[in-house]
Amino acid sequence: MTRYIVGRVTQAVIVLWAAFTLTFAILYLLPSDPMQLQLAAAGVQEDSLNAEQLAAMQHKFGLDQSIWAQYWHHLAGVVHGDFGTSLSQQIPVSELIGQRIGQTLLLSVTAAVVSLVAGSALAYVATFVRWNPLRIFLSRLPALGASFPQFFVALFLIQFFSFKLGWFPATGTQGAASLIMPVVTISVLTSSVLAQVLIKSFDQTLRQPYIVTARAKGLSRSAVHLRHAFRNAALPAMTILGVIVGLTVTSSIVVETVFTREGVGRLAQESVLSQDVPVVLAVVTIAAAVFVLVNLVVDLLYPLFDPRITHTRVKAPAFVEGVTQ
Amino acid sequence: MSLDFAQDVQVDAPPPVEEVPSRGANLRANLRQLARKPVFLIAVLYVFFVVVSAFWPKLFTSAGPYDTHPETAMLSPRLGHLFGTDLYGRDLWTRVLYGSPLTIKATLIALAIAIVAGLTLGVVSGFFAGFTDAFLMRVVDVLLAIPGLLLALSIVTALGYGTIPVAVAVGVGIVPGFARTTRSEVLRVKTLPYVEAARAGGASWGRVLWRHILPNSWGPVAVLAVLDAGVAIIAIASLSFLGFGAAPPAAEWGTLIADGRNYLVTSWWLSLLPGLFVALLVLSLNHISKTLQELTR
């Protein structure tokens, strides 16, 4: 068991380090002229500087050092929670993110909880009802929910519930009412993803012999569905918790932009627009850390729910691919 | 949504024992089965319509995308202006159709990147196994650890804006899915008796790979490609919605929707109708992929 835990934790750290390195490589090696990129972000024209000023700027951004030195500098900083200074706003990135992360955390956590409840409920009902048309309709619903682009869902909600009915504010971060539509927008996607996995898992579980046994010994259908089927069907779905959380985090980029909320997602959008490289690097690293951490927690908790898992070699968690947009 | 463990379950299942009909007969039977699904046909027709209208927009509209008619600005949807008109009196339907080639081009580039890189990674990984496999799959794990849209955002930051950088960014984001699916298919096919027979018959590994493994493992990859076309369209539209797409006045779908957002209070059609156009396309692609998946099972 100790070996299992140590192995998982080591793997998580390595993946996180590699994710940081990859992002660093994309941001610092891909641009043909990183100097120009960073000057543009700082709002300075490269042509307007003389050679001396250019050298001073280069020194300021650390671009006069070798790429390795820059890499070690950034890596050491990240380990200590220092992500450098924002190029466009001239304040420490950690401060910038610190101001905004509360809003995003609130949004993401609420959305994750709502989608867990909604997704499980949908899967539960979709596999429990007997009337076939309703059953088919409910089990097709997740595919529908996962197909709508989030900006479309968000705009539709704004148009309908803010402008037509006037129930919720269309923008802003004031009060609980402003949280409802962003949470719904994210949950439409994430609960659909969860429900799809759960329904599939339910269908497989309900075909198991122990379900027949439970029914044969006289348990009611609802008791079997809840106590026997649901608990076993939910196990494989646990592995996509990381994906669900990852989705709620990335969804915040589009959702915060549409609903004009002051969060890290909108910070990411603004930073890409102003090509503020240190901020982008920080946001991507933090998002990857959240994803890796959730997967690590799931991996560590999984054996508690399913003791078989430590006896066999554990596979990497199954990811819902392609939908992590 | 493809799930790895679901595929692994299929991998473990014994190969179905049945008489294998010729490929032609199989295809005909499948086509007959598909023709009997009306929703599937509608989905195919819609995708077909979008592609045709992207290449020959003049078939479906007589106006130009940049023709301004100030006297007919901000019209609501009506006959003659299916999607209404914008602030400058430009016909929105026309602008959506002329925006299609940009988004479709980006989608095709993204898919090409994903298929070429994903297939190569997957085949190499599944075929050579051992250390190569372990190493490549860890690389895929790392790619998966960075949420797709954020990976795309960092690539866009580095490469700049425009249709091509967005396409590259989205393409790289869906490589891992292809790599994993291809790998599990190659692993499955590699153990089948006819591969052994071909080897025993003296065929080289290269020939076995090219003639036997690849043709028999591309099915699920093709289904995934259709599904990921929908995913790529959402991602590309999202990125251009966020403001990283083609420069104005050219307008991708996402840009049109973002522009229309400013007039949501008074003219909902400016953003919601193009949004619906995109949503229906993604829905159609997802449905096609799902139907094909059920068919190949």
Per-residue pLDDT for chain A (325 aa), expressed as one digit of tens each?
788 888 888 888 998 999 899 998 888 887 766 667 677 766 666 666 777 777 777 777 777 777 788 888 888 888 888 888 887 778 888 888 888 888 888 899 999 999 999 999 999 888 888 888 888 888 888 888 888 888 889 888 888 888 777 787 777 767 777 788 899 999 999 999 999 889 888 888 888 888 888 888 888 888 888 888 888 888 878 888 888 888 888 899 999 988 888 888 889 888 888 888 889 999 999 988 988 898 888 888 888 887 776 655 444 444 333 333 3
How distant is the alpha carbon of residue A301 from its chain centre?
20
The single residue listed with the structure tokens 């599937």 is B40
Per the CB < 8 Å rule, is A27 touching B5?
A: no
Cα separation, A215 vs A223, in Å, equals 9
Contacts of A15 in chain B (CB under 8 A): 138, 141-142, 145
Contact criterion met (CB below 8 Å) for B227 and B177: no
Q: Which two tokens stand for residue A219?
A: 């348990």
Cα separation, B3 vs A313, in Å, equals 19
User: What's the pLDDT at A55?
Assistant: 75
A150-157 vs B269-296: helix axis angle to the nearest 10? 140
Tell me the whole-structure pTM to 2 decimals: 0.82
DSSP tag of A317: P
Cα separation, B278 vs B272, in Å, equals 10
Per the CB < 8 Å rule, is B290 touching A143?
A: yes
Per the CB < 8 Å rule, is A147 touching B261?
A: no
Contacts of A259 in chain B (CB under 8 A): none
Cα separation, B282 vs A298, in Å, equals 31
Contact criterion met (CB below 8 Å) for A43 and A88: yes
Q: Which two tokens stand for residue A104?
A: 């995003």
Contacts of B151 in chain A (CB under 8 A): 23, 26, 284
Instruction: Name which of B5, B238, B271 is nearest A318 (Cβ-Cβ).
Output: B5
Per the CB < 8 Å rule, is B154 touching A26?
A: yes
Other beta carbons within 10 angstroms of residue A293's beta carbon come to 14
Contact criterion met (CB below 8 Å) for B277 and B96: yes
Pick the residue from chain A with its C-alpha nearest to B149: A325
Instruction: Name which of B228, B258, B278 is nearest A322 (Cβ-Cβ).
Output: B228
Per the CB < 8 Å rule, is A249 touching B177?
A: no
The single residue listed with the structure tokens 């504010």 is A169
Q: Which two tokens stand for residue B122?
A: 């997957």
> What are the pLDDT tens digits along chain B (297 aa)?
444 444 444 444 455 555 555 656 677 777 777 777 888 888 888 888 888 888 887 777 777 777 777 676 666 777 667 777 777 767 778 788 888 888 888 899 999 999 899 888 888 888 887 888 888 888 888 888 888 888 888 898 888 888 888 999 999 988 888 888 888 888 888 888 888 888 888 888 888 888 888 888 777 888 888 888 888 999 998 888 888 887 777 778 888 888 878 877 777 778 888 888 888 999 999 888 888 887 766
Q: How far is A319 from chain B (nearest CA, A)?
A: 7
User: What's the pLDDT at A323?
Assistant: 37
The single residue listed with the structure tokens 């924002």 is A86
Query: How is chain B split into domains, by residue range?
Result: 96-296
Cα distances (Å, whole numbers) of residue A79 to A13, A149, A293, B90, B173: 11, 36, 15, 53, 26
Strand, coil or helix: B81: strand
Contacts of B144 in chain A (CB under 8 A): 319, 321, 324
Domain B96-296 has CATH 1.10.3720.10: yes
User: What's the pLDDT at A192?
Assistant: 92
Per the CB < 8 Å rule, is B155 touching A151?
A: no
Model ipTM value: 0.82
Q: Which residues pair with A320 in a beta bridge?
A: B3
